[in-house]
Amino acid sequence: MPESNAVERPRGHLGWRTVLRPLVAASLLALLAVVACGGPEPTQDQPTIASFTADPDQIGPGDSSTLTWSVSGAASLTLFPDGVDVTGRTSWTVEPSVSTTYRLVATNGVGERRASTTVTVGDLPVIESFAAVAAPGRTEFTLVNPGVPVTLAWSVVDADSVTIEGPGLPVRSVGLVDSLEVTPSTVGATYTVRAANGAGPIAASVVVSREVPAFSVLIAGQSNAKGVNVSASEARAFITAAAGVEMLGNDYVWKPAYEPTGDCVGHVDLVSADPDGGCTAFAQNNSGVSPGVSLANRVAAATGGEVFIVPAAKHGSALNGSQANDTWQPGSDPYDRATLFGSAAYRAQRSGIDRDAPLATTVDGAAYGAVLWYQGTSNTTSVAQTDAFFGLTNTVLRAFEQELGAPVIIVQLSSRGDFADRNLLYQRVREVQRRMAEGARTVTGTSASEARAGRYLVVTHDLPMGDVRHLNAVAQRELGRRVSLAVREHLLGETGRLTGPRLVGVVKSSPTVVRVVLDRPVTTSSVTTAAAYSGYFAVFAGGEQVAVSEIRRDPNDTSAVRITLASSVAGDVEVRYMPPVGSPPGIRLDVVRSASCTDPIPGTNACLPLPAFGVATSAETASALRLMVFDDDED
C-alpha cells in the first residue's frame, strides 16, 4: 500500500468539525423556532395553596367542622386521610370522632403542593366563673384605683391544668376552684385565667382597675333627702362614715361625714335652714338619717377612693313655679345663694374647687359625681300640682345638668301611709319620675321625649316608713345602698345589672289575658290570686276597674307577669302597679323583683324591685280626685 501523508487519528476521537457540525445545526433550528414563535415556550408552575383552615378547629363529640381552602393552579384536589376528591370545591364539612389532622393535596402537570389543619375533638375545659370579689375589709367591689387590693376568684371544671397571670403576677399554677388577692399597680390592669385539657386551652380575663379619683354627690330635694326619722344623737350612732368620706356641712366646713348630713350647726345659707329656724328639735321636724353616709361608704368601698357629700336639701321645700315661693327654680344667677338652687349649685362647685372633685363626669373619666334628687311629696296636694310636676322638675334638673355637667339619680316616691286618694296623687308623681329616667319604656300615652340620658331611677315603694310620708332610718340606709348600685352600674361602668327590672310594655294577648313585659326574669309571688305581689296590680278598661281572677309570673316567659281577667274585655286596657296604702313593718318582699342578682338586700335573698308605674283610675275616682285639695303641711 502506498505511503500516505495523512495523520492517523486515534480511535474514538472526533474532529472539531465532526463535533460542531450537529451543534450548529441544532442552534440554527432553535433560532428559527424563536423567530417563528416570537419568544420562549412558557413553563407551568406548581399549584398554590393560599389558605387551609378548619372552623371551628375544636369541637365536641358528634359536632362538625368546615374545612375551607383557597387554591390556584391545581388540576386536582384530594383531601386526606379519607382520599376524597374535592376538585372544584372550596370547602368540605367533616365530623371526626377523634382529633384528626387533615391534608389537602393540590396537583397539576408540574407538581403538587400540600397543606394541613387539625380538628381537635373533645370537650374543652369550662371556666364557670372568673371575677373580682370583695377583698378583706371591703364590702363591695367594682373597678378600683391602683393600689387597692382585689380578690380574684374562679371556678373551672374539666381541666388538667389551670394557671393565672397578670400585672405583678408571674404565670403560676392554681387549683380548679380557688382565689387570690392581687393589688393592681396600674390603670387597666387585666388578669387572665387559662385552663387546658387534651381538647385544648381556654382563657378568661377580667379588668380590675381604672382611675376613679374621687366621687362627689349633691343631695338635693326635701325632707326625705335630709332624712326625718330619728334624733341627731340616734342618727350619729346609727351609722358611721368610713375613712375618706367627708361632707361639706351647712357651716361650709369640710369634715368627716356623719348623720344627720343636713344638720344646721352654724348654718350659713339660711335659705336651706329648717322651717323651725333652729337645731333644737332633731326629731320629726329636723334631719335624722339620710341616704348620704350609707351611699358614700359603699361608693368608697367600691372604688377605693374618697367620697364627698354635699348636703343641700330643704325640709318642706316645694316646686310651684313661683320665684317667691319655689326657690328650687333657677334664676338669672344660677349661683345665687339666696335660692335653694343657687345654694346647692354653689356648694357643688365648692367640691370641685376645695377637693378637686367636681360632680361632672368627664369623657376621659377624670372625675365622677352625681346629683341625688329626692323631691315630690309636697307636689301631691292636688291633681293640678301633679300635672305641673314634670315641667317644674325638668327645669330644675336641666339646670343642674347644664351648670354642673352631672348625671341625676331620681328617687321615686315611697309608699303612702294614710289616705288612698293621696296615694293616687303620689302615684301620678311616681309615674312622672319613672318616665323621666333614662331607659324608661313607654306605656299608653307616654311621650318618649320625657326621658333624658343621664337620669337614673331608684325605687323606695317597698321600704318601711317612719311615719305616713318619711322613710325610717333602716329604709334610708337601704336607699343609700340602692343609689350606690346605680352609681356602680351607670356611672362607674361595672358590668352586670345591679339595679332592678324595668317595664318594657303592657300587651293584651287575648280578651282575658294581659301580659306585663319586663326587661329581665323576675320573681314569682307567694300567691296567684288578684292580691298577688302584695296587691300592687290593678287593671282598668273604659274608665272602670276590671276584675282579675289570677296574677302570676308567666309560665312561658319568666320576664313577664300574666294577669288573667275574670271575664272577657274588648279593646285596650291599662295596668297600674303601685304600693297599697300603709307602711310595711319591714321591707315588703312580695313585690316584682329581679329573679337573680349579685347584691341582694342585706339579710335577705331579695333583689331590687320594679318601679311603680301607671296612673289609671276609674272615671268616678278620677273625677273626684280633681276636686280634692289637701292642705296639710307636706314636706
Q: Which of 485, 500, 515 is the last residue of a domain?
A: 500
C-alpha cell at 34: 424563536
CA distance 112 to 106: 5
Residues 187 and 246 in one domain: no
Q: Which of 21-35, 68-82, 116-130, 229-243 has the lowest mean pLDDT?
A: 21-35
- Exposure on the CB side of residue 326, measured as CA atoms within 13 A: 19
Q: Check residue 138 and give its pLDDT.
A: 42
CA 548 to chain centre: 35
Q: Which amino acid, residue 266?
A: G
Are 607 and 594 in contact, with CB atoms under 8 Å apart?
yes
Query: What pLDDT is stored for residue 321 in this prediction?
Result: 64
**Signed CA dihedral, 433, 438, 442, 446: sign only:** positive
Distance CA(164)–CA(287), nearest Å, equals: 50
pLDDT at 425: 95
Distance of alpha carbon 131 from alpha carbon 80, whole angstroms: 44
Supply the DSSP string of 218-264, one letter for each residue. EEEESHHHH--SS-HHHHHHH--PPTTEEEE-TTS-EEE--SSTT--
pLDDT tens by residue, 476-513: 999 999 999 998 888 877 767 788 999 999 999 999 99
User: Which CATH number characterizes residue 143's domain?
Assistant: 2.60.40
Q: Is residue 57 part of a domain?
A: yes
Number of domains in the chain: 4
| Average confidence (pLDDT) over 627-632 | 80
Nearest alpha-carbon partner for 367 in 210, 188, 142, 213: 213
Q: What is the CA radius of gyration of the chain?
A: 38
Q: Comparing 170 with 480, which gets the higher pLDDT?
A: 480
7, part of any domain: no
Instruction: Please report which confidence band the pLDDT of residue 148 belongs to, taking 50, 70 and 90 as the band edges.
Output: low
Cα gap 504→520, rounded to integer Å: 10
Q: How does pLDDT run across 540-554, given as a tens digit for each residue?
A: 999 999 999 999 999
Residues 359 and 415 in one domain: yes
629 in a structural domain: no
Let me know whether 507 and 496 are in one domain: no
| 243 and 341 assigned to the same domain | yes
Q: What is the CATH number of the domain that holds 318?
A: 3.40.50.1110
Contacts of 277 (CB under 8 A, 6+ apart): none
Strands 455-458 and 408-411: parallel
Give the side-chain half-sphere CA count within 13 A for 236. 5
Share of the chain above pLDDT 70, in %: 83
Helix axes 340-355, 383-404, angle to 10 degrees: 30
| 302 and 412 both lie in a single domain | yes
Identity (one letter) of the amino acid at 562? Answer: R
Residues 495, 488: Cα–Cα separation, whole Å: 9
**DSSP sequence for 349-362:** HHHHHHHS--S---
Which of 173, 207, 241 is the endpoint of a domain?
Answer: 207
Query: Which 8-state DSSP code applies to residue 136?
Result: T
306: Cα within 13 Å, side-chain hemisphere: 17
The CA distance from 456 to 370, in Å, is 10
Residue 418, classified by CB atoms within 10 Å of its CB into exposed (0-12), middle (13-18) or buried (19+), is middle
Q: Rounded CA gap, 73 and 539, in Å?
A: 73
E strand segments, 312-459 = 368-374, 408-411, 455-458
Q: 387 with 412, same domain? A: yes
Tell whether 635 is covered by a domain.
no
Cβ 424 vs Cβ 617: under 8 Å: yes
Is residue 632 situated within a structural domain? Answer: no
For position 353, what pLDDT does the model report?
80
**CB-based burial, 76-110: b 16+ in 10 Å, e otherwise:** ebbbeeeeeebeeeeebebebeeebebebbbbeee
Give tens-digit pLDDT for 567-622.
Answer: 999 999 999 999 999 877 899 999 999 999 988 999 999 999 999 999 999 999 99
CA angle 42, 47, 49 (to 5 degrees): 145
> Distance between alpha carbon 405 and the CA centroid of its chain, in Å?
21
* One-letter identity of residue 386: T
Distance (Å, whole) CA 245 – CA 255: 9
Instruction: Please give the Cα distance from 578 to 431 (Å, whole number).
Output: 10
Residues 314, 182 share a domain = no
Look up residue 249 and give its three cell numbers: 356641712
**pLDDT at residue 276 in the model:** 54
Last residue of one domain, picked from the residues 105, 121, 137: 121
- Tell me: do 99 and 225 sit in the same domain: no
257 within a domain of the structure (yes/no): yes
The reply to whether 380 falls in a domain is: yes
Q: Within this chain, do residues 368 and 322 fall inside the same structural domain, yes or no?
A: yes
Amino acid code (one letter) for 321: G
List the CATH number of the domain containing 60.
2.60.40.10
Closest CA to 131 of 150, 159, 157: 150
301 and 388 belong to one structural domain:
yes
pLDDT in tens, 284-339: 445 789 999 999 999 988 877 889 999 999 888 888 765 456 679 888 898 899 99
The CA-to-CA distance between both ends of the chain, in Å, stands at 154
Does some domain include residue 15?
no
Residue 275's pLDDT is what? 60
Same domain, 395 and 544: no
If asked whether residues 491 and 614 sit together in one domain, one would say: no
Q: What is the distance between the alpha carbons of residues 96 and 77, in angstroms, rounded to a whole number? A: 20
Average pLDDT taken over every residue of the chain: 84
- Nearest by Cα to 81 from 99, 101, 61: 101
Q: Amino acid identity, residue 548?
A: V
pLDDT at residue 1 greater than cutoff 80: no
Compute CA distances 447 → 209, 376, 384, whole Å. Answer: 39, 20, 19
Domain residues for 619? 503-623
pLDDT at 195 over 80: yes
